[in-house]
């Protein structure tokens, strides 16, 4: 696929951006070269290539979901700015 200066001007009009004449010629050459490369990539046979979900082919180790910390309510509530037995008290932020 070849991109010419008129196509660049049409695209810039649709995108509502201004492109100078000199820049339009440069963009046309760059886009044409990009599309030529894409066409080369489309010629490759990728039938036997498995799609990747990640570049690191490792699986996560599963572990048992266990509660490790029990009865630490007093320790957590000890960090509260105001004392309360049942919940964490913080200063009012919104008026």
Could you give the 3-state DSSP secondary structure of residue 16? coil
Does residue 11 fall inside a structural domain? Answer: yes
Does residue 10 fall inside a structural domain? Answer: yes
- Total domain count for the chain? 1
What integer pLDDT is reported at residue 87 of this predicted model? 80
Does residue 60 fall inside a structural domain? Answer: no
Does residue 47 fall inside a structural domain? Answer: no
Q: What is the pLDDT of residues 67-85, one digit of tens each?
A: 888 878 878 887 777 777 7
Does residue 24 fall inside a structural domain? Answer: yes
What integer pLDDT is reported at residue 38 of this predicted model? 93
Residue 13 maps to which CATH number? 1.10.20
Domain residues for the domain of 32 are 5-42
Does residue 35 fall inside a structural domain? Answer: yes
Does residue 38 fall inside a structural domain? Answer: yes
Q: How far apart are CA 28 and CA 25, in angstroms?
A: 5
DSSP β-bridge partners for residue 89: 82
Does residue 20 fall inside a structural domain? Answer: yes
Q: What is the pLDDT of residues 34-46, one digit of tens each?
A: 999 999 999 999 8
Instruction: Give the tokens for residue 44.
Output: 């490759």
């Amino acid at each position: 696929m070849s991109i010419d200066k008129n196509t660049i001007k049409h695209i810039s009009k649709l995108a509502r951006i201004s492109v100078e004449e000199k820049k339009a010629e440069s963009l046309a050459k760059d886009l044409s070269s990009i599309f030529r490369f894409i066409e080369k990539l489309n010629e490759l046979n990728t039938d036997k290539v498995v799609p990747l979900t990640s570049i690191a082919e490792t699986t996560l180790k599963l572990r048992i979901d266990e509660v490790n910390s029990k009865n630490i309510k007093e320790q957590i509530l000890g960090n509260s700015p105001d004392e309360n037995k049942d919940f964490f008290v913080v200063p009012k932020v919104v008026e």
